[in-house]
Amino acid sequence: MEVIKTPTRKQFKNQSYRDLTILLLIILLINYIASYFFFRIDLTAEKRYTLTETTKNILKNLNDIVYVKIYLDGDLPYGFLRLKKGIKETLDEFRSYAGDNIQYDFIDPTSLKDKKAQKDLQKQLYRMGLMPTNIQEKDKDGKIIQRIIFPGAVISYAGQEIAVNLLKNNISRTPEENLNASIEEIEFSLIQSIRKLKNDFGQRIAFIEGHGELNEWEVADIANALSEYYSVERVRIDSQISSLSARIIDTTTQNIRVQNKYDLIIIANPRQPFNEYDKYIIDQYIMYGGKVIWIIDGVDANIDSLAYHSSMIGTIHNLNISDQLFKYGARVNPNLIQDVQCAIIPVNTALAGNQPQFTPAPWIYFPLLLPNTEHPVGKNVNVVKGQFVSSVDPVGEEPDIKKTILLTSSLNSRVINAPMQISLGIIKQKIRPEFFTKSYLPAAVLLEGRFKSLYLNRLAPEMYAYKEIAFKEESFYTQLAIIGDGDIIRNHVKRLGLNQSPLPLGYDRYTGETFGNKEFLMNLISYMLDSKNFTELHSKSIQLRLLNRQLVDEYRTHIQVINIMLPVIIFVFIGIGITYFRKRKFSKKYMHHE
């Protein structure tokens, strides 16, 4: 009979130490090898921690430190803590690619003990462009107190700095949806600001003059915003073919090469008809790849006329460009959209001869337009304020032209064809939704593709051979946007004596609200000038997973008990199980077998 020797406790202990040492060495070796390879795994369904290739390329090519000061710290409500967490996670992801070139700090503007210093800091942040937000809290005595926070950041790079607001405030969304949209936009907002500081854009934009377009003060806010990214000018065509494009003669072959001077032109609310020369110049600018935003009225109507008269006649606005737009694939209709979802205007409700008394009233001729949230241009954009808006229809069956509706009316709307009487008396009538039977009428259309020239087969035969004209029948791939509201780009101008200052685009003087006009137009221009990168940066979506508040309130006690007791019970059973199996294991180890 043979007795099999089993390891002593000391030998078993030594073997365990050796195994542990080998395991640690293997882990260190794996980490050392892995340090030469960079990879990250995002296990979230919506890839919320995955940066776009555009962002990665920008971060890898930083030549200086980007310092981000985020003014969102301290005792914050849960929603803002989520936003703060999202910002920190995004910046940590930035550091994975940019290393120490990304530095950041979270700052609590209310942490200053000196009240005057607090006020001065708040004024400084506001002057820089950060928009404050009021939050309500209960103190120890149960009283409601208000606190001002600045959910934004100041980014510094290469001696320059810029303020970026990180909280979306769409009046058509719930607070939870706005916070979710803000978290979705963190990467886009931060990286666009870094691109602005790096001056990564460089394209040229021209506002066209000479047809009664909005003057420089009336488009000052959007022009100033664009000038931070692009070179912005004002240009008169004046029937000069060289106004938009340069004709360059090749001295060797004597061929004409055409080069557009501007990447995009904006035609903002013209009031006078275009002559055929100017139309031809714009047409050929498009044929050679130029991009155009047409912002025009289909009906001649102006709210200022109602300041002196209780009614006016809206007539068809003939700009002599309907055939041109139709050829490209869109039609601005001679009508006005009336909408139940509309802006407010002040109306004098005092009796004749008495002191004026202005009362806010809904004005159905000022629809609040809905952006197309399925398209990058309209994603997370607030509703857009319109003024005497005409519907815009995509037309034609050209297979090479992609047509996308960017703005629409609401569920309850209708159109009135010109000529029509526009009277303030309609305010006294009760709005009846059953009369507004049209839904989602298009007010802005984006056309993308290769366009046929308006002047194809219309020029005299000898003009085709005239080299200096360099007539082109079909365009390179390009983009056109047609918006049926000339005032969508117009900011109000504050006048004090001889001094003028533009108010923010989209700001409503009567309600204090800021609509999405500026953000929509900035997105549209960014998309048209850099569609690939803009789409990539704007494509991130984070699913909003909200708790059912009714069930939470109903089963609050049960949920609290389960969350507190269940982890304890699980760990107790795990401990008992581990103890039991260890006893069995060690009792067998030291048994002698015959």
Residue with the bigger pLDDT between 375 and 136: it is 375
Banded pLDDT at 377 (limits 50, 70, 90): very high
Looking at residues 246-266, what average pLDDT do you find? 82
Tokens of 482: 């047609």
Looking at residues 283-288, what average pLDDT do you find? 95
Average confidence score pLDDT of the chain: 84
Banded pLDDT at 592 (limits 50, 70, 90): very low
Looking at residue 192, its amino acid is Q
Question: Which residues, 6+ apart, have CB-to-CB distance to 138 below 8 Å?
Answer: 144, 145
Looking at residues 220-232, what average pLDDT do you find? 93
Distance CA 233, CA 214 (A): 14
Is the confidence at residue 538, as pLDDT, over 80? Answer: no
pLDDT the model gives residue 365: 95
Is the confidence at residue 250, as pLDDT, over 60? Answer: yes
Is the confidence at residue 462, as pLDDT, over 80? Answer: no
pLDDT the model gives residue 132: 85
Is the confidence at residue 593, as pLDDT, over 60? Answer: no
Residue with the bigger pLDDT between 259 and 111: it is 259
Is the confidence at residue 552, as pLDDT, over 70? Answer: no
Question: Domain residue spans in the chain?
Answer: 53-196, 202-529, 550-589
In 3-state terms the chain splits into helix, strand, coil percentages (rounded to 5) of 35, 25, 40
Chain Cα centroid distance, residue 167: 11
Question: Which residues, 6+ apart, have CB-to-CB distance to 323 below 8 Å?
Answer: 454
pLDDT single digits (tens) 146-189: 778 888 899 999 888 888 898 887 777 777 778 888 888 888 88
Architecture of 53-196 per CATH? 3-Layer(aba) Sandwich (3.40)
Banded pLDDT at 370 (limits 50, 70, 90): very high
Among 43-52, 294-303, 490-499, top mean pLDDT goes to 294-303
Asked if the domains 53-196 and 202-529 are classified in one and the same CATH topology, the answer is no
Question: What is the percentage of the chain residues whose pLDDT exceeds 70?
Answer: 84
pLDDT the model gives residue 12: 61
pLDDT single digits (tens) 46-82: 556 678 888 888 888 888 899 999 998 888 888 888 8
Query: Element (H or E) spanning 348, and its range?
Result: strand 342-348
Is the confidence at residue 548, as pLDDT, over 70? Answer: no
pLDDT the model gives residue 154: 92
Bridge partners, residue 339, by sequence = 413
pLDDT single digits (tens) 25-52: 888 888 777 666 555 565 555 556 678 8
Looking at residues 441-461, what average pLDDT do you find? 91
Among 135-139, 311-315, 478-482, top mean pLDDT goes to 478-482
pLDDT the model gives residue 594: 44
CATH of region 202-529: 3.40.50
Question: Which residues, 6+ apart, have CB-to-CB distance to 75 below 8 Å?
Answer: none
Helix axes 220-227 and 517-529, enclosed angle (nearest 10): 40
Question: What is the percentage of the chain residues whose pLDDT exceeds 90?
Answer: 41
Tokens of 242: 């060289």
Q: Return the minimum-mean-pLDDT range out of 13-22, 338-347, 546-555.
A: 546-555
Helix axes 78-98 and 175-184, enclosed angle (nearest 10): 10
pLDDT the model gives residue 468: 66
Looking at residues 429-437, what average pLDDT do you find? 85
Looking at residues 486-503, what average pLDDT do you find? 90
Tokens of 28: 């260190």
On whether the CB atoms of residues 434 and 465 are closer than 8 A, the answer is no
On whether the CB atoms of residues 444 and 378 are closer than 8 A, the answer is no
